[in-house]
Structure 1
């Protein structure tokens, strides 16, 4: 791989919308090459080499199988989630295990635990105030994310063996300036956690993808 191609791949990864437009023939290569030179991808005397690289660049098309799975995804929305980001402590994890009995999943309660290498994150309904305040007082809370919403995306089972679905959705959300605070997977389900200000836009985008 030439240095120009290497830098080009980096630029297209940074601006995925450019790649999508190139795939569809919506971008003039010479104009794009001029812009990329301004961005430092190549030197001004490498214009023709950059255009040639753009011409032979191997764009990855979205497989029909992936698009078909997206058309059959089920979308659910739940509001009023709090994310608690704690410093990792053994005592905290043990305490959280005891709280599971207080969660009624049959009634739709939200309670998820993610144990990382340095932190423990708890996803819980904002209505569980006693649990939230008790844990916050007794353990080292690094950050609390309020007014979060949960979007559940349930794919057909075949999605587990299909590459690129999460990457495809992530690109779409990036293109539309949507900020995802947290993302969890329990294949074939994908859970997105985002500020309420981004919820309507994200929900509408997902519906549009499913319908087209």
Structure 2
């Protein structure tokens, strides 16, 4: 027999606000993906490139700063290859999809709490999918971005090999934080799976 617990009006309002906020963030992430697609597939594409470093004279001239160098620079690229464009799109789209997945979990959990049934069969699966999206989206987004920049450097070097004085042939400063968040969400998914099993066993005793 299924039993639900009513939440207070204040709790219901707070949960509803969180669920609505999650939906809003998910929509904003999808809009950002679409906007990024238009930018990436435009005639000119602005790309932030990791630079080998150079003297930032304007900053170094400020009082209190001994020296200054730049480690990144924005370049406007023309005639970018289709492969590089898709890599740049995936760099932004994959983390955005991970955000959508986490927001979907937040919305579904909020609705389930409002209904007094947080331990649903689909909850652990939903959180598990979100964990995969966060880990894969965060890591592969960085990798695709690095590949795109390597393709840009290779294309620029075809006409002027002096580009290697400014940009590395391949540069990847991998941030493992998405993997850690993915593991944390995976543990939450397991906790919900056990909670669902315990809830079912408890209801069987009533």
Report if TM-score (shorter chain) is over 0.5: no
Relative CO higher for 1 or 2, CA cutoff 8 Å, sep ≥ 6?
A: 2
Q: TM-score range by the shorter chain?
A: under 0.3
Q: Going by fraction, where is strand more abundant, 1 or 2?
A: 1
TM-score, normalised on structure 1?
0.20
TM-score, normalised on structure 2?
0.21
Q: Going by fraction, where is helix more abundant, 1 or 2?
A: 2
Instruction: Return the index of the structure with the highest Cα Rg.
Output: 2
